[in-house]
């Protein structure tokens, strides 16, 4: 029973990380219909910047701020420079551009900081059953989700962003700068991605540190339905718990395959994810 | 009448009128597919074998690598370029192929190479049916995500079953090499490269025949408009699974070729980066044409070699030179999509048109029609 509780608690804190990264994928998918396969690499660069800042200043929290700020810039720049030129082309174009960016950024990280792992600090204490860092993970992701909800629901900016995502033509006619709104969406998503990276990286950072997390995040986003931010959060927590049990009872090597199994199982029952309304395909 | 020839990269059929008298190339194209593909493959095989007589063992190994990568990329071409399903996990099928090959050599040493290859194809087909059937209802990003998870998850099985699969060190084995009759004539590396290429070419002939036939037409119909294809009576699910199985078989055979060439199967050779590199090479070579697979495979093997040489010449640090190929590939991938979405194959084809006709191929840009071809980029 104790083992079960331990697994549940660790599943919750890792689920928060998957939920955050899944949320960043969903925000981008909602805005631009692109699955950003470069998201783990953008987060990786942010985390390396945090590492560099923390090393230089000795303060974890300055590094944390630097990670979020760099996430903002990286996300906006990616949308402006790489995604917008392929907008309106086949979906494969956008997928391939983000994959190319993934390769470039992972390679650059290896060039600058080497492929060897560096030790990377936890935000708070990490010892004990449900450590301060676990609380921080749950709390910060929850806060990010709430802020995002408030932004979308209650602010004029959020209204414009929703309009730009769902009815770009109508929004443009009513004076919304659609392009700017899409860039903003990418920037916000990448900030959340950077947060996920900061939570996922410890105890070590190396160029492939985000790979597995990204697989779980994409599984979470897809399970929840790529259209739905709440689905991403729920999918992330669900996946965190399931994978924690699989890891604890069946072996940690099987977690990725378990994620795949959950993905296929859910999608064979609901092809558009658990929390999205099924839509008719146009003929 | 100007002979218009859009450089269509999708193989949607050429119905544009062509006025010049039939050239050798046109007469070649008029041959039936069942004659043309084996002839081309035989010519390619002779060329490869001839090439191995003038090169050394290292070059033979690289030549063999081009062969198996080409097979894997051509399989991916059928899946992505023809049927429109994006797989980011084709390294998983190479993994299956490589380990099947290694296990066969280690546990059933009496079996000849061709039998190993056939068993590998069978195993990869079974895996392809399983994955394809499970993912047939997924499309676009959903399929991409699922296949990516497969590519990451499958190699971790080696850690789960260390006695059978050798853990993270993988399996090492030695093959018999050239048969006794050829012992004095060809070296082991020559034999290996030729065997891999023979497998590849047989696979390619089958692939080309399939994609030129009814199944290929069905796949292209599916890619262009799934709903319309379904209305026209094409069994959508079955065609998708068929495409998946064929491309999985190619991936498995490619993995077997790699294991045979290197004498090892290790989980670290089947990372996500491999799967992404296959896709990158495909896009680089050109989506929708089998020539693209060849160009992509050449790029995949030799770009790495050249970049390593370059790093050596420029005496770059190990961090930089280790990561230079991957950065190079990423940049190339982005540039190709932004500048030339039809890839190297499309680029070569418009160059060929240029040479053949002595003028630029007609394009909807008449104002620039007299600028030389170098102004393209």
Let me know if residue A37 belongs to a domain: yes
pLDDT value for A105: 93
B374 in helix, strand or coil? helix
Are the C-beta atoms of residues A37 and A99 closer than 8 Å to each other? yes
Are the C-beta atoms of residues B87 and B136 closer than 8 Å to each other? no
A257 and B142 within 8 Å at the Cβ level: the answer is no
A212, A268, A281 member nearest B152 (Cβ): A212
Work out how many CB contacts closer than 8 A connect A with B.
152
DSSP code per residue over chain A: -HHHHHHHHHHHHHHHHHHHHHHHHHHHHHHHS---TTHHHHHHHHHHHHHHHHHHHS-HHHHHHHHHHHHHHHHHHHIIIIIGGGTTS-HHHHHHHHHHHHHHHHHHHHHHH-SS-EE---SS---STT-HHHHHHHHHHHHHHHHHHHHHHHSHHHHHHHHHHH-HHHHHHTT--HHHHHHHHHHHHHHHHHHHHHHHSTTEE-TTTTHHHHHHHHHHHHHH-TT-HHHHHHHHHHHHHHHHHHHHHT-GGGHHHHHHHHHHHHHHHSTT-TTS---PPP-
- B327 contacts on A by Cβ (under 8 Å): 103-104, 107-108, 111
Please work out, in degrees rounded to the nearest 5, the angle formed at the alpha carbon of residue A93 by the alpha carbons of B303 and B293: 40
The separation between CA B161 and the C-alpha centre of its own chain, rounded to angstroms, equals 30
- B140 contacts on A by Cβ (under 8 Å): 91
DSSP code per residue over B48-72: HHHHHHHS-HHHHHHHHHHHHHHHH
ipTM: 0.84
- B319 contacts on A by Cβ (under 8 Å): 110-115
In DSSP terms, A118 is beta-bridged to A205
The whole-angstrom separation of Cα B155 and Cα A208 is: 15
Q: How many residues does this entry show for chain B?
A: 377
The whole-angstrom separation of Cα B347 and Cα B339 is: 11
pLDDT at A76 over 60: yes
Which run of H or E residues covers position B264?
strand B264-265
Give the pLDDT confidence of B325-363 residue by residue, as tens digits: 888 888 988 988 888 777 788 888 888 888 877 655 554
pLDDT value for B375: 35
pLDDT value for B22: 66
pLDDT value for B232: 86
B154, B276, B334 member nearest A97 (Cβ): B334
Distance from CA of B364 to the nearest CA of A (A): 18
Please report where in the chains the tokens 């099947």 appear, as a residue.
Answer: B100
Supply the Cα-derived Rg of chain B in whole angstroms. Answer: 21
Identify the closest residue of chain A to B92 by CA–CA distance.
A257
C-alpha distances (whole Å) from B142 to each of A24, A30, B84, B115, B134 are 16, 14, 13, 36, 12
Let me know if residue A207 belongs to a domain: yes
Let me know if residue A147 belongs to a domain: yes
> A142 lies in which domain range?
1-113+134-269
Mean pLDDT of A5-12: 86
Say which range, A205-209, A235-239, B83-87, B312-316, has the weakest mean pLDDT: B312-316
Answer positive or negative: Cα dihedral of B12, B17, B19, B21: positive
Let me know if residue A119 belongs to a domain: no
Give the ranges where chain B is alpha helix by DSSP (H).
24-30, 33-54, 57-76, 91-107, 113-135, 141-153, 157-160, 162-165, 188-212, 214-224, 226-231, 236-262, 272-285, 290-313, 318-339, 343-357
Greatest extent of chain A over all pairs of C-alpha atoms, in Å: 60
pLDDT at B3 over 60: no
Mean pLDDT of B107-120: 88
B146 and A264 within 8 Å at the Cβ level: the answer is yes
What total of structural domains would you count in chain A?
1
B172 in helix, strand or coil? strand
The whole-angstrom separation of Cα A2 and Cα B189 is: 58
B337 and A86 within 8 Å at the Cβ level: the answer is yes
Let me know if residue A123 belongs to a domain: no
Give the pLDDT confidence of B29-58 residue by residue, as tens digits: 777 767 777 778 878 888 877 777 777 778
Q: Which residue has the higher pLDDT, B24 or A173?
A: A173
Answer positive or negative: Cα dihedral of A111, A113, A118, A120: negative
B149, B227, B327 member nearest A263 (Cβ): B149
A256 and B156 within 8 Å at the Cβ level: the answer is yes
Mutate to test the interface with A, among B12, B86, B278, B334 (most CBs of A within 10 A): B334
- B144 contacts on A by Cβ (under 8 Å): 35, 37, 95
Distance from CA of A53 to the nearest CA of B (A): 21
Q: The domain spanning residue A197 has which CATH number?
A: 1.10.3470
A221 and B145 within 8 Å at the Cβ level: the answer is yes
B157 and A253 within 8 Å at the Cβ level: the answer is yes
Average pLDDT, chain A: 86
Selection from A10-14, A262-266, B49-53, B256-260 with the highest mean pLDDT: B256-260
B323 and A108 within 8 Å at the Cβ level: the answer is yes
Question: How many other CB atoms are found less than 10 A from the CB of residue A4?
Answer: 12
The whole-angstrom separation of Cα B5 and Cα A93 is: 24
Let me know if residue A30 belongs to a domain: yes
pLDDT at B370 over 50: no
Distance from CA of B98 to the nearest CA of A (A): 19
- A100 contacts on B by Cβ (under 8 Å): 280, 329-334, 337
pLDDT at A71 over 80: yes
Query: Which of B78, B10, B14, B88 shows the shortest CA–CA distance to B219?
Result: B78
Query: Which of A208, A218, A222 shows the shortest CA–CA distance to A256?
Result: A218
B145 and A219 within 8 Å at the Cβ level: the answer is yes
Query: Which of B93, B110, B140 shows the shortest CA–CA distance to B274?
Result: B93
A271 and B138 within 8 Å at the Cβ level: the answer is yes
The whole-angstrom separation of Cα B65 and Cα B59 is: 10
Answer positive or negative: Cα dihedral of B87, B90, B92, B96: positive
Q: Which residue has the higher pLDDT, B316 or B367?
A: B316
In DSSP terms, B264 is beta-bridged to B172
């Amino acid at each position: 029973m104790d083992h079960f509780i331990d697994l549940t608690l660790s599943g919750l804190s890792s689920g928060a990380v998957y939920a955050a990264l899944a949320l960043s994928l969903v925000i981008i998918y909602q805005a631009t219909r692109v699955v950003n396969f470069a998201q783990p690499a953008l987060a990786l660069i942010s985390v390396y910047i945090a590492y560099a800042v923390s090393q230089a200043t000795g303060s974890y929290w300055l590094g944390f701020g630097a990670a979020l700020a760099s996430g903002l810039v990286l996300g906006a720049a990616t949308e402006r420079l790489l995604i917008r030129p392929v907008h309106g082309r086949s979906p494969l174009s956008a997928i391939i551009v983000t994959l190319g960016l993934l390769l470039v950024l992972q390679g650059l990280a290896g060039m600058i900081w080497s492929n060897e792992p560096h030790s990377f600090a936890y935000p708070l204490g990490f010892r004990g059953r449900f450590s301060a860092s676990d609380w921080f993970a749950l709390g910060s992701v929850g806060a990010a989700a709430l802020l995002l909800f408030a932004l979308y629901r209650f602010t004029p900016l959020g209204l414009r962003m929703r309009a730009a995502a769902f009815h770009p033509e109508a929004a443009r006619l009513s004076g919304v700068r659609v392009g700017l709104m899409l860039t903003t969406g990418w920037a916000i998503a990448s900030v959340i991605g950077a947060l996920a990276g900061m939570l996922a990286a410890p105890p070590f950072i190396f160029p492939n540190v985000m790979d597995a997390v990204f697989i779980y995040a994409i599984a979470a986003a897809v399970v929840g339905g790529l259209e739905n931010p709440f689905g991403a959060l729920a999918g992330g927590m669900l996946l965190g718990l399931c994978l924690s049990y699989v890891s604890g009872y069946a072996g940690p090597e099987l977690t990725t395959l378990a994620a795949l199994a959950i993905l296929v199982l859910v999608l064979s029952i609901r092809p558009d994810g658990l929390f999205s309304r099924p839509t008719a395909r146009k003929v | 009448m100007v002979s218009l020839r859009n450089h269509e990269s999708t193989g949607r059929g050429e119905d544009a009128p062509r006025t010049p008298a039939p050239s050798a190339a046109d007469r070649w194209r008029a041959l039936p597919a069942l004659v043309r593909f084996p002839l081309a493959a035989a010519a390619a095989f002779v060329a490869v074998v001839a090439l191995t007589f003038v090169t050394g063992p290292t070059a033979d190994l690289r030549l063999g690598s081009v062969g198996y990568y080409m097979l894997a990329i051509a399989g991916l071409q059928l899946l992505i370029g023809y049927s429109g399903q994006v797989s980011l996990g084709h390294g998983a099928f190479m993994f299956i192929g490589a380990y099947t090959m290694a296990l066969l050599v280690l546990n059933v040493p009496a079996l000849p190479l061709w039998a190993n290859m056939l068993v590998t194809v069978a195993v990869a087909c079974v895996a392809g049916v399983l994955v394809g059937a499970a993912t047939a209802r997924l499309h676009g990003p959903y399929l991409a995500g699922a296949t990516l998870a497969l590519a990451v998850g499958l190699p971790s099985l080696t850690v789960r079953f260390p006695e059978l699969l050798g853990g993270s060190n993988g399996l090492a084995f030695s093959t018999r090499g050239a048969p006794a009759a050829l012992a004095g004539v060809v070296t082991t590396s020559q034999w290996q490269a030729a065997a891999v290429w023979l497998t590849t070419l047989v696979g390619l002939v089958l692939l080309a025949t399939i994609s030129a036939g009814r199944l290929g037409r069905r796949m292209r119909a599916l890619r262009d408009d799934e709903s319309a294809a379904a209305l026209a009576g094409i069994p959508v699910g079955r065609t998708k699974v068929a495409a998946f199985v064929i491309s999985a078989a190619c991936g498995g055979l490619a993995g077997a070729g790699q294991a045979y060439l290197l004498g090892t199967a290790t989980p670290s050779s089947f990372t996500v980066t491999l799967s992404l590199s296959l896709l990158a090479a495909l896009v680089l070579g050109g989506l929708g044409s089998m020539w693209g697979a060849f160009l992509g495979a050449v790029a995949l093997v030799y770009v790495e070699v050249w970049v390593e040489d370059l790093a050596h010449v420029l005496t770059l640090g190990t961090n930089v030179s280790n990561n230079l190929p991957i950065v190079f590939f990423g940049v190339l991938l982005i540039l190709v999509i932004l500048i030339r979405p039809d890839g190297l194959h499309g680029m070569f084809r418009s160059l060929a048109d240029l040479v053949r006709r002595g003028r630029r191929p007609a394009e909807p840009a008449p104002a620039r029609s007299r600028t030389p071809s170098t102004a393209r980029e």
